[in-house]
Structure 1
């Protein structure tokens, strides 16, 4: 924060905002990766012509039985790369937007301003993170395919090389439009609701981890409900194959139309339980880690012991 009601303060450098944003996302991903795998498997259930899973528990039991416990972390390298690109960009951009707003208006942003800043931050993050997102979805869904159909990526670097070699550079941005759309919705709701809930709850809860947890829990629930259909469309597009020389889907709208027609309207929220279980803790952990890193930087580097956090 550059100014506090006209009083100049030391600020966290821009590069540290990006670094702490990405690091917070990577730490959270290490803990919630299994939920992301369950969510992805649920979302692509039915794309092979039959309904593979009836519930998240069935996914979990089949993964344990057929693939082993460690397979819950399939795609972890891609998940970490996604956070290093997507979360680094979105958190860094959003915090810089907040600092700019407070420096120019000397006040907390309004609801409309917070939502607008979240949309911009989400779009930037999604464009940077899309290649890792493509690799992540494919790596998490690979074991469900027949051996001859598997891509067998060793890690995210191997995935990038093989995708570029076999499909071209553009394939790294397959599904970019629904990815950007989902990210804009997620960030519009997640970042804006977190800031607003945190400001509102300050009247009831003292600054600290309980406040951050409470605001992040509400933010995770709201963003999960709003973004799930676009997340499903993104997942289906990124792992689709060519059928008789033509792509399985022409775009996000085509995915959602086919899902509603063939699987029912509620299928747009298929995998919601693991999605919420994944996004909720990921949102909470990301914000808590970020708050604590900001607090530590302000205290130990800037020497600002009065500042509890640099609010995201």
Structure 2
């Protein structure tokens, strides 16, 4: 195919910056979701859980673990967006859009890598968020993400950083497919209708679709990941043991915290892509020739 001119490609770090910016706004919702997922019995709803956290430790407790949440995005989202954009550039011919099945494939690769590199910060994030709901004398009290990583390495060994990595990577694959590939495809389809142009309204609509799909397909693995990361030593013998333990409370246990997960993930997805599109424009593009 003849050269069709330069194509715009996002800078490798744009996705990480966008995800970190979104996390600053949605972190309290993520904290409530973690608390709901670590309940074996559904004793509290999202609103009551949030009120309980504020009553017990104050309004700032809703931002417990923010440093870990930001670091997670700077590792996890940087990797998955960078790999997706790079592979999309490699497989795309001219300005012709990739088939959706190829987008799914490259999103899966990006998600797997992102899930692995983001796991250490993710584990510290879960622990820091869950700290506020346990008795003060039993709290880990990590001061920030780097303190958490250091203490985990010193007290439990570096391999502990990758606790739950199988679930994290599995969830990240599904999340990247549902967020990045679905967003890309939804945006493409909206633009072809003739009723949309490449502006924030289109970005908002496409990211809302992506956020809803992402919440639905990732919730079971998200629940498992959260429980494995927050588990005490020896609490679960394996992933299968954790699955069986959760299943004792019924199939809906795998969707614990779905509403707050959607309330958190949909805005996070929307904000991530709104920031992402704007950061690309502000930060400039890398131009490549085919």
User: What is the TM-score of this pair, normalised by structure 2?
Assistant: 0.93
Tell me which of 22, 38, 61 is aligned to 2:16.
22
The 1:167–1:111 alpha-carbon spacing in structure 2 relative to 1, beyond 3 Å, is: same
The 2-side partners of 1:132 and 1:17 are apart by 23
User: How far apart are 1:11 and its partner, in Å?
Assistant: 5.1
Tell me which of 240, 253, 260 is aligned to 1:267.
253
User: How far apart are 1:100 and its partner, in Å?
Assistant: 1.3
1:85 and 2:79 matched: no
User: How far apart are 1:58 and its partner, in Å?
Assistant: 1.1
What corresponds to 2:126 in structure 1? Answer: 137
The 2-side partners of 1:191 and 1:169 are apart by 31
Query: Are the counterparts in 1 of residues 4 and 95 from structure 2 also a CA contact under 8 Å?
Result: no
1:225 and 2:216 matched: yes
1:220-259 to 2 correspondence within 5 Å? 220-242=211-233, 247-259=234-246
The 1-side partners of 2:49 and 2:27 are apart by 14
Query: Are the counterparts in 1 of residues 28 and 62 from structure 2 also a CA contact under 8 Å?
Result: yes
Tell me which of 272, 275, 279 is aligned to 1:293.
279
The 1:251–1:184 alpha-carbon spacing in structure 2 relative to 1, beyond 3 Å, is: farther
1:127 and 2:116 matched: yes
SS in 2 for 1:17: coil
Tell me which of 5, 9, 17 is aligned to 1:8.
5
Encode CA deviations 1:23-66: one digit per residue, 9 max, x unaligned: 101100000000000000000012xxxx3732101101101111
Structure of greater relative contact order (alpha carbons < 8 Å, 6+ residues apart): 2
1:110 and 2:123 matched: no
The 2-side partners of 1:251 and 1:128 are apart by 21
What corresponds to 1:163 in structure 2? Answer: 152
User: How far apart are 1:248 and its partner, in Å?
Assistant: 1.4
The 2-side partners of 1:145 and 1:124 are apart by 32
Query: Are the counterparts in 2 of residues 6 and 106 from structure 1 also a CA contact under 8 Å?
Result: no
SS in 2 for 1:7: coil
Encode CA deviations 1:51-83: one digit per residue, 9 max, x unaligned: 373210110110111111000000000001101
The 2-side partners of 1:254 and 1:109 are apart by 40
SS in 1 for 2:152: helix
Query: Are the counterparts in 2 of residues 198 and 215 from structure 1 also a CA contact under 8 Å?
Result: yes
The 2-side partners of 1:258 and 1:21 are apart by 36
The 2-side partners of 1:153 and 1:53 are apart by 27
SS in 1 for 2:96: coil
User: How far apart are 1:105 and its partner, in Å?
Assistant: 6.2
Tell me which of 179, 190, 204 is aligned to 1:213.
204
Q: CA RMSD of the aligned region, Å?
A: 1.9
What corresponds to 1:307 in structure 2? Answer: none
1:297-308 to 2 correspondence within 5 Å? 297-298=283-284
State how many pairs are aligned.
Answer: 286
1:42 and 2:29 matched: no
User: What is the TM-score of this pair, normalised by structure 1?
Assistant: 0.87
> Structure 2: which 5+ residue stretches go unaligned?
none
Tell me which of 167, 188, 192 is aligned to 1:199.
188
More divergent stretch after superposition (225-234 vs 270-279): 270-279
